[in-house]
């Protein structure tokens, strides 16, 4: 569970109920036995998408099969872990998703279904999608340029030429809700976002920088606002393609806004009353979905944000 309790639900994509059992990743005999075990469940991941089926209650579930039904490409199988009942889970990376014309299955990405799946299945999917993104973009050795091969059930790439081992990378990014001394929140609109879409500021941590420094630099660069105290709230894996979003509350010590015009087109201070009125009039669209951005705003707002349809999705 995270500290984000404004709506008493855990943050999407952060469920930790599957034991990753990393000590099995190099044990080929164990992996082979796990793969062929009748209770093992396998799903295919391809280009960040999986097959899902809609459920009667408006949710979705992963289309999973026993391993003996799964296509034979064991080189690209990722071992994801074991649940409390002892079920082992694998993802299989394929160039395309298998056809399931006989059943009501459809392809879906994490942004679309991350909030519709059970926490366990969302956790499995975020792990699989993150591995697939990394595998796809790190096929060559960054030390010598040779083609690398997959190892450790998807969690390592090895270089046969120079012996280097490459591990999945995660890029830290900061995302912060800035408030001023009147407890107003600073929300910005990115250049490519539609009119009315406002959210928290965010950016990547740079080399040689602490995350607190990164929060202050990003807010100043994007909105011209000076930040003093910074307090950590929660984190969220965000494999688009490989970020880890580190969520903060940040206290401004200045209030004048000067947007950079490159990343942020417009930024405004909102009181809770301002924001409520802007939601009601339609002037501001509620942030969508599973992102920690919505939860940071909720934490300050003090209650759940209005629901919105499945329109444009922002982080």
Among 113, 159, 187, 215, binds Zn ion (CB under 5 A): 159
Q: Are 223 and 257 in contact, with CB atoms under 8 Å apart?
A: yes
Q: Does 16 bind Zn ion (CB under 5 A)?
A: no
Per CB under 5 A, the segment of 28-36, 161-169, 218-226, 288-296 that binds Zn ion is 161-169
Alpha carbon separation from 164 to 148, 156, 261 (Å, rounded): 9, 10, 42
Q: Does 143 bind Zn ion (CB under 5 A)?
A: yes
* Cβ 145 to Zn ion shortest distance, Å: 7
Among 70, 122, 141, 202, binds Zn ion (CB under 5 A): 141
Nearest to 289 by CA among 202, 222, 197: 197
Q: Does 147 bind Zn ion (CB under 5 A)?
A: no
Alpha carbon separation from 236 to 15, 21, 66, 233 (Å, rounded): 10, 21, 30, 10
Q: Which is nearer to Zn ion, 142 or 254 (CB)?
A: 142
Total residue length of the chain: 315
Q: Does 164 bind Zn ion (CB under 5 A)?
A: yes
Buried b (16+ CB within 10 A) or exposed e, 180-192: beeebbbbbbbee
* Cβ 93 to Zn ion shortest distance, Å: 22
Q: Does 144 bind Zn ion (CB under 5 A)?
A: yes
Per CB under 5 A, the segment of 80-88, 137-145, 193-201, 244-252 that binds Zn ion is 137-145
| CA–CA separation, 106 and 121 (whole Å) | 16
- Tokens found for residue 267: 């930024």
Q: Which is nearer to Zn ion, 32 or 162 (CB)?
A: 162
Q: Which is nearer to Zn ion, 166 or 217 (CB)?
A: 166
Per CB under 5 A, the segment of 46-54, 95-103, 164-172, 305-313 that binds Zn ion is 164-172
Nearest to 194 by CA among 95, 271, 269, 282: 282
* Cβ 133 to Zn ion shortest distance, Å: 21
Q: Which is nearer to Zn ion, 141 or 186 (CB)?
A: 141
Which residues fall within 8 angstroms of residue 228, CB to CB, at 6 or more apart?
A: 251, 252, 253
What residue ranges bind Zn ion (CB under 5 A)?
141, 143-144, 146, 159, 161-162, 164
């Amino acid at each position: 569970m995270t500290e984000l309790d404004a709506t008493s639900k855990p943050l999407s994509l952060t469920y930790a109920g599957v034991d990753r059992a990393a000590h099995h990743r190099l044990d080929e005999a164990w992996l082979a036995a796990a793969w062929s075990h009748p209770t093992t469940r396998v799903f295919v991941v391809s280009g960040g998408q999986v097959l899902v089926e809609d459920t009667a209650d408006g949710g979705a579930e992963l289309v999973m099969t026993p391993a003996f039904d799964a296509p034979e490409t064991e080189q690209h199988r990722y071992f994801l872990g074991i649940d409390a009942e002892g079920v082992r889970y694998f993802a299989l990376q394929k160039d395309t998703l298998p056809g399931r014309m006989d059943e009501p299955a459809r392809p879906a990405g994490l942004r679309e279904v991350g909030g519709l799946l059970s926490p366990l299945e969302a956790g499995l999917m975020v792990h699989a999608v993150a591995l697939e993104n990394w595998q796809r973009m790190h096929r060559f050795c960054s030390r010598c340029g040779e083609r690398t091969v997959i190892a450790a059930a998807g969690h390592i790439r090895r270089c046969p030429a120079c012996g280097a081992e490459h591990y999945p990378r995660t890029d830290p990014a900061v995302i912060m809700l800035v408030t001023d001394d009147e407890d107003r929140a600073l929300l910005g609109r990115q250049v490519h976002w539609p009119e009315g879409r406002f959210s928290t500021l965010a950016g990547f941590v740079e080399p040689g920088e602490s995350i607190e420094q990164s929060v202050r630099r990003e807010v100043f660069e994007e909105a011209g606002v000076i930040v003093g105290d910074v307090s950590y709230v929660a984190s969220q894996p965000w494999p688009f393609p490989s970020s880890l979003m580190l969520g903060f509350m940040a206290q401004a010590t200045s209030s004048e806004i000067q947007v950079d015009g490159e990343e942020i087109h417009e930024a405004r201070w909102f009181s809770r009353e301002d924001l409520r009125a802007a939601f009601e009039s339609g002037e501001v669209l509620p942030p969508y979905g599973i992102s920690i951005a919505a939860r940071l705003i909720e934490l300050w707002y003090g209650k759940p944000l209005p629901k919105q349809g499945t329109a444009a999705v922002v982080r």
